[in-house]
């Protein structure tokens, strides 16, 4: 079975944020991710990670206003300076939190100019942080209208253009199903590029149990393919988090 991580932005919301680390460990998780950790005391988070003996798997970049502001703009023409300034801010947080991966969000944009800007910003970022693993993630445009990176062929083209060892694919099975309707086929075509995996049920984006995505088969495929990265639960629990954790058993 894969190594499972808990997305603390989505899971254990019934608890105060700082209590979610220990709750994740007690529930059987060995790693956690936080999408936007910028509003919490950084050293307190690091202390919780150490105290709970958890790996910090992933955080997002850039640090936007997650309630109303743009969620990323690495592919948005005209704001390259803002992207680079905020990437440096993310790196300052990463110096303390030590995430395994930083997910660079493309933002809302379209067309060849946006792709060129995305590639150039990523080339700058991989050189700026050569020892940091960076990821890009296709996100469906139903959940995030206008998002630039909304298909796997574009992601493959961008990754090939940047061609950096510290940049890889972030594969979210929920988004893959929304985008292609075929998680297993999409993984077969693009899984070799993946360094991080996220899961949620479909429809509803609840626990990865039942529904339209055969997660036992998907996890078996990850094992068969030799995937050694983390699999993170990024979903909205139907009730309290602890009631729906059979998927990690």
Indicate which residues carry an active-site annotation: 137, 234
Q: State the Cα–Cα distance between residues 177 and 172, nearest whole angstrom.
A: 9
Longest dimension (CA), the chain: 47
Q: Where are the alpha helices (DSSP H) in the chain?
A: 20-27, 42-52, 80-97, 112-128, 152-162, 173-180, 183-190, 215-224
How is residue 156 annotated by DSSP?
Answer: H
Structure tokens at 175: 């988004």
| Residue 124 φ then ψ, to 5° | -65, -45
């Amino acid at each position: 079975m894969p190594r499972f991580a808990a997305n603390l932005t989505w899971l254990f919301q019934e608890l105060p944020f700082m209590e979610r680390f220990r709750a994740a460990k007690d529930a059987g998780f060995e790693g956690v991710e936080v999408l936007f950790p910028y509003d919490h005391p950084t050293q307190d988070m690091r202390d919780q990670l150490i105290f709970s003996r958890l790996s910090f798997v992933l955080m997002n970049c850039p640090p936007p206003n997650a309630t109303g502001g743009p969620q990323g703009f690495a592919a948005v023409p005209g704001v390259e300076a803002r992207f680079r300034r905020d990437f440096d801010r993310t790196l300052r947080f990463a110096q303390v939190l030590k995430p395994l991966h930083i997910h660079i969000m493309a933002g809302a944009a379209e067309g060849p100019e946006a792709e060129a800007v995305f590639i150039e910003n990523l080339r700058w970022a991989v050189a700026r942080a050569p020892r940091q693993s960076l990821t890009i993630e296709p996100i469906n445009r139903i959940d995030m209208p206008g998002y630039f990176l909304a298909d796997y062929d574009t992601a493959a083209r961008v990754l090939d253009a940047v061609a950096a060892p510290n940049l890889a694919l972030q594969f979210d099975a929920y988004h893959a199903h929304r985008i292609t309707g075929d998680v297993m086929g999409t993984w077969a075509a693009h899984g070799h590029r993946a360094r991080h995996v996220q899961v949620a049920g479909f429809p509803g984006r609840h626990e990865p149990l039942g529904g339209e995505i055969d997660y036992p088969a998907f996890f078996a495929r990850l094992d068969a393919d030799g995937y050694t990265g983390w699999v993170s639960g990024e979903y909205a629990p139907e009730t309290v988090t602890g009631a729906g954790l059979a998927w990690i058993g």
